[in-house]
Amino acid sequence: MTAPPPSPAPVGPPPPRPRGDISSAVVAVAKGGTGELPTSTETGRADPYGDDLQLALYSLYELHYWGFEGVDPRREWDPRLLALRSTLEDHFVDALRHDVARAGRSVGEALDDLLLEPARDDGTGVTHFLQHHGELWQLREYAAIRSLYHLKEADPHAWVVPRLRGRAKAGMVAVEFDEFGAGRAEDIHATLFANLMADLGLDTAYGHYLDAAPAEALATVNLMSLFGLHRLWRGALVGHFASVEVTSSPASRRLARAMNRTGAGPAAERFYDEHVEADAVHEQVVRREVIGGLLADEPGLEPDLVFGIDATAELDRRLDATLLKAWRRGRSALKTPLTGPPQSRPPG
């Protein structure tokens, strides 16, 4: 006797609003529709960094996390959706390979580049801007956008653990243990970020701000999901993880100052204060044990490690440019501006 299919559970957020033909087809099929999915020719014409393709990828990846309310959990392994995801991934990776092509660099050189700060702390990056010039409404927008990453912080990196061994595995698990609260549920970094959001008067529900986020924000999350779901990209995922840990401590220091300056609240400050010290330690573990151990076992993965580092930096640069362009003009960077008290909204 065949067991009945499980009932869709309202665990994840509602399905997102489509942003084009590709994402519309993905959402429809995920919800049980029988319509046609785009062909490889159609997806090949899409902007690899654009709203439609990035939302389609995000939606397909989300089936491997919490899923969506009302969507059958079995859609996670729907062969048609997996085939489309593969085509979209190839298009995305091809664009990244073209845009970050820097042959011959070592992992050490790639990581050292991440530590180069501007000659003047002049607001050339988002965290520099927020530290000195950010207003409360901009900090709220930043937190809403980053919630798509931080509310699943460390989850996609955990996928690489069974694909490592020895020093690399031990180092990776040591850092992940801290990310997941070192055995204390209240200290899980995703929980600390939800507390930050509450201090800022934001909705803390997982995935709540998906419809508001620009494509550039979706791409930063999609990259780690892509690397995490494929054993092929285990080196690139370690490169992504290293990028996060290397850049986190100085960026978190700037953001803690921004939260303090604007009176964002104690939980908002705590999240970034926690990362200043923790990630400075994590950086050394990642460099020496995770990367060192991985390259000792599989030296041929060094180009993939470098690609993971460079692709992460490229997508972060694109997101920074999008946010700063809007904020410097006094406009919201979100597709749907946040509501709240007057001082927490963009002017106009």
pTM summary value = 0.93
Nearest CA to 89 out of 226, 294, 183, 247 is that of: 226
pLDDT at residue 3, rounded to an integer: 47
- Those residues whose C-beta lies under 8 Å from the C-beta of residue 312, and which sit 6 or more positions away, are 220, 223, 239, 240, 243, 244
Q: How many CA atoms lie within 13 A of 334 on its CB side?
A: 22
pLDDT at residue 8, rounded to an integer: 46
- Residue 310 near residue 211 (C-beta atoms within 8 A): no
pLDDT at residue 119, rounded to an integer: 38
Residue ranges in the chain whose pLDDT is less than 70: 1-10, 103, 116-123, 279, 342, 348
Nearest CA to 107 out of 261, 303, 298, 276 is that of: 303
Is residue 157 classed as helix, strand or coil in its secondary structure? helix
Going by the DSSP 8-state scheme, the letter that residue 17 receives in this structure is P
pLDDT at residue 341, rounded to an integer: 78
Find the largest Cα–Cα distance for the chain.
70
Rounded to a whole number of angstroms, the distance between the first and last alpha carbons of the chain is: 63
pLDDT at residue 103, rounded to an integer: 66
pLDDT at residue 222, rounded to an integer: 98
Using alpha carbons, list the distances in angstroms from residue 131 to 148, 268, 279: 22, 14, 19
Please state, in angstroms and rounded to a whole number, the distance separating the CA atoms of residues 303 and 282.
Answer: 22
- Residue 251 near residue 124 (C-beta atoms within 8 A): no
Q: How many CA atoms lie within 13 A of 314 on its CB side?
A: 19
Please state, in angstroms and rounded to a whole number, the distance separating the CA atoms of residues 295 and 120.
Answer: 35
Please state, in angstroms and rounded to a whole number, the distance separating the CA atoms of residues 226 and 92.
Answer: 10
Sequence length of the chain is 348
